Each structure stands twice: as C-alpha cells, then as structure tokens.
C-alpha cells in the first residue's frame, strides 16, 4: 500500500462548538491504482485530500486517525518534515491551472527548481529531465516551450504543465483535485487519458477527487463515495456504478444525466446535503433516504461488506441483527 488512511477525523473548532468535517474516513491506495473520491459540494472530498498532504487551513485540524505514506506516518510530522515529504513523495494537481503556476517565472524555471530541490541533479540534468517530462505529458516543441510563461499556454496545456510539475520529483502518490473541471469537454478527455497512462507506466498511486462520475468511470479502478464528511460506499468502479449498494449512491447515479435517446425525467433526491453544523443523528442520509427504518435514526453505520464493495448502510447489516 502506498497510502493508508485509517479512521481520519478532521474538526473545525468554532465559536458555536466543534464542527466535524471528516469522520472515520478509511481507505487505501496501491501502487499503480487510481482511487476516485467522488461527492457533491460539502461532502469532504477536497478536505480529505488537504488532510493527507497536511495543508488544512486553520482552525481545521486532524483530530484523530492516521495517515501513512509507504508505511510511514505523516499526519503527525512537524512542518519542515512534512514540507519535504510533500514535494518529494506527493505530487498535487489542483483545479485551476491558472493559479497553480507562478505567472512571473517561465515554466522551465519552475520545473527545474522543483526537480533540483527534490532530486540530486545538477541544473543541466534538471533541464534535460524537464524537457523529457514535458514530452511525456504531451507538450509539443518541449525544448522551446521551456522558456515560455504560463500565460502563453492554453488551459489544457497549462494543466499538462501542472501535471508535469506534480510528477517531476517522481512521487509515490499524486493527489488530483478536480483536475479537469475547468477545462472543456474535449480537453478533459485528453487530460483524463494522460493521468491514467501516467499511473500505469510509473506505478504511481493516484487519488482523483472530483464531483464528475463520468471522469471517474474513465480513469479509476476503485471509487469512494463521500457524503457529509463520511465515506458511504467504496468498491470497484464498475460495481459501484452499475450496482450501487448505498441508497445515496443509487440516487446519485440516477440523477446523473446521460446521453438519452429522448427527453426523460431525472431521478431526484429531495432535500440537500446537511451542513456540518446540522448533521442528523444516526445515519447522516436518513432525512432523504427512501429505505430508512428505525435503526437508521439511532446508530451510525460503519462500512459493511456488501458484495464486492462496502457500504455504510444498515441494509447490509449481517442477518443476525
């Protein structure tokens, strides 16, 4: 396992009490595997990514659980140590390519700086590597483009540069937070394919955070569905999409529009995801769940085995209950 997260809990102390942003989040990613983390706004998927790389904004803090990278605990490292780990072992791709790159430096300078900081190479060797990275992510005329500034690239090209920066130090894990959301559909497809190829050829573990199930379907091996700060279902992508086990996932898949042959009415889940300060007792989904019963209001379910996946739902409790 490259990344192991156990029982992660993230809290935000506030004037009106403590808000729990993430609760009992557990998952693992193997080398070469792409884990998709999907959920709607406020579900906690970006928060999970930030918690793993140690970039939670104050006053948020990790209040419980463990995060292990290649067997070593990283959630309790001092700042300086974590900074080194972040650059060398974890690469990050954020949503907005425009603000991910420093507009005042050429991409060559930014690439070489990252490479020489984390790897024992000379500047010239770093430069060679930068060129090969740019070629690997599919930027034509790589050598000439080293001298270009970020604004001289289009959106899709910029995101490729950001990906190149993320893999520059040969990380074991890449965290991509909505990497294609700001891009056009045709460019999206290119970037998705690139991420998938990189994971396979380099054996990197990839945590792909997005709200777009379609992107996950194309890239991921496994998917974790998040709701109100918890993982409600996790399993192989094919199974979660075609045979969802948790009522929320069922509703979610039903409301995703697909290319239809005629006008149809979409399945809708009434209501909205609860805010962090108003999470219901028991299962967080119970106000909106069409299949709820008494136990759902009393106890919060953990992830229970459900076929090839796991679902946090009392419907899958062992028959003895």
Partner 1 sequence: MPLLRLEAVSRDFDVSRPWLNRVIEREPRRILRAVDRVDLEVEKGETLALVGESGCGKSTVARLIVGLYAPSEGRIAFHGRRMQMIFQDPYASLNPRWRVRDIVAEPIVILGLQEKPSIRRRVSDLLVQVGLSADDGEKYPHEFSGGQRQRISIARALAGEPDLLLCDEPTSALDVSVQAQILNLMTDLQRRLSLTYVFISHNLAVVSQVADRVGVMYLGRVVELGNASSLFAHPRHPYTRMLLDAVPDLQMSGKPRTPVAGEVPNPLEPPPGCVFHPRCPHANERCRVERPAVIDSVACHAVEEGRI
Q: Which residues bind partner 1 (CB under 8 A)?
A: 40-41, 154, 156-157, 184-190, 192-193, 211-215, 217-218, 237-238, 241-242, 251-252, 254-270, 272-273
Write down the least CB distance from residue 100 to partner 1, Å.
19
C-alpha to C-alpha distance for 92 and 167, rounded to whole angstroms = 9
Q: How far is the CB of 227 from partner 1 (least distance, A)?
A: 10
Name the residue nearer to partner 1 (CB basis): 86 or 145.
145
What is the closest distance, in whole angstroms, from the C-beta atom of residue 197 to partner 1 in the complex?
11
Q: What crossing angle do the helices spanning 155-167 and 185-202 adopt, rounded to 10°? A: 20
Instruction: Please say which residue, 130 or 217, places its beta carbon nearer to partner 1.
Output: 217
Burial (CB count within 10 angstroms: exposed 0-12, middle 13-18, buried 19+), residue 278 = exposed
Distance CA(268)–CA(259), nearest Å, equals 17
Nearer of residues 109 and 190 to partner 1, judged by Cβ: 190
- Least Å distance between CB 39 and partner 1? 9
Min separation Cβ 269 and partner 1, Å: 5
Closest CB to partner 1 among residues 254, 305: 254
**Nearer to partner 1 among residue 1 and residue 193 (C-beta):** 193
């Amino acid at each position: 396992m490259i990344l192991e997260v156990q029982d992660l809990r993230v809290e935000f102390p506030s004037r009106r009490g403590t808000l729990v942003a993430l609760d009992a989040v557990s998952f693992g990613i193997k080398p070469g595997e792409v884990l998709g983390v999907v959920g709607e706004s406020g579900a906690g998927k970006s928060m999970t990514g930030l918690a793993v790389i140690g970039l939670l904004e104050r006053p948020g803090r990790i209040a419980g659980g463990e995060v292990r990278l290649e067997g070593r605990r990283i959630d309790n490292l001092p700042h300086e140590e974590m900074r080194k780990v972040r650059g060398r072992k974890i690469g990050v791709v954020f949503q907005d390519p425009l603000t991910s790159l420093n507009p005042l430096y050429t991409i060559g300078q930014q690439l070489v700086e990252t490479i020489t900081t984390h790897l024992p190479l000379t500047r010239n060797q770093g430069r060679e590597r930068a060129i090969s990275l740019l070629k690997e992510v599919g930027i034509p005329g790589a050598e000439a483009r080293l001298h270009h500034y970020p604004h001289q690239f289009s959106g899709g090209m910029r995101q490729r540069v950001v990906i190149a920066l993320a893999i520059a130090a040969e990380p074991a894990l890449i965290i991509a937070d909505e990497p294609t959301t700001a891009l056009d559909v045709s460019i999206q497809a290119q970037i998705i394919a690139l991420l998938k190829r990189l994971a396979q050829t380099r054996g990197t573990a990839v945590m792909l955070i997005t709200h777009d199930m379609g992107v996950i379907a194309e890239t991921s091996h496994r998917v974790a569905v998040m709701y109100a700060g918890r993982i409600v279902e996790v399993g192989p992508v094919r199974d979660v999409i075609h045979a969802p086990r948790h009522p929320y996932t069922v509703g979610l898949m039903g409301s995703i529009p697909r290319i239809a042959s005629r006008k149809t009415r979409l399945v809708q889940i009434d209501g909205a995801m609860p805010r962090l300060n108003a999470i219901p007792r028991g299962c967080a989904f119970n106000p909106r769940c069409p299949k709820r019963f008494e136990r759902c209001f009393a106890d919060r379910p953990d992830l229970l085995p459900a076929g090839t996946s796991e679902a946090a739902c009392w419907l899958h409790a062992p028959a003895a209950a």
